[in-house]
Amino acid sequence: DVKVTQSSRYLVKRTGEKVFLECVQDMDHENMFWYRQDPGLGLRLIYFSYDVKMKEKGDIPEGYSVSREKKERFSLILESASTNQTSMYLCASSRGRAYNEQFFGPGTRLTVL
């Protein structure tokens, strides 16, 4: 059974902290994605990666960075967390073309105080 896991379901951090969100997939997928989901705004793409050490900006990359050192792992980094980064963060992966079926993790609900 295919699986995408995220390091935390719930996370509470303080303004200015550096935050790491980890995502691991066991399907040997080339593509990995980070989204944030906010009420009324749907899912918005932050960054994606189509290969190890490769990354591309999505629609809202400001305030975020990513790291993909291994094929199965894609990390989202908030360099200095701010309250407007309070959100649900969803990781996904896919095989082949980036517009193929995506498999999602359970999400991390991040609250920045």
Partner 1 sequence: SQQGEEDPQALSIQEGENATMNCSYKTSINNLQWYRQNSGRGLVHLILIRSNEREKHSGRLRVTLDTSKKSSSLLITASRAADTASYFCATDNNAGNMLTFGGGTRLMVKP
Query: How many Cβ atoms are within 10 Å of 1's Cβ, its own excluded?
Result: 4
Q: Of the two residues 16 and 93, which places its CB atom closer to partner 1 in the complex? A: 93
Structure tokens at 99: 């517009």
Q: Of the two residues 53 and 97, which places its CB atom closer to partner 1 in the complex? A: 97
Instruction: Write the interaction track for partner 1 spanning residues 16-35; mark x where CB under 8 A is met and - where it is not.
Output: -----------------x-x
Q: Which of 19, 24, 32, 48 binds partner 1 (CB under 8 A)?
A: 48
If one asks whether residue 56 binds partner 1 (CB under 8 A), the answer comes out as yes
Q: How far is the CB of 43 from partner 1 (least distance, A)?
A: 4
The secondary structure of the chain, three-state, reads CCCEEECCCEEEECCCCCEEEEEEECCCCCEEEEEEEECCCEEEEEEEECCCCCCEECCCCCCEEEEEEECCEEEEEECCCCHHHCEEEEEEEECCCCCCCCEECCCEEEEEC
Q: Of the two residues 16 and 106, which places its CB atom closer to partner 1 in the complex? A: 106
Q: Which residues bind partner 1 (CB under 8 A)?
A: 4, 33, 35, 40-43, 45, 48, 50, 56, 58, 88, 90, 92, 97-107, 109
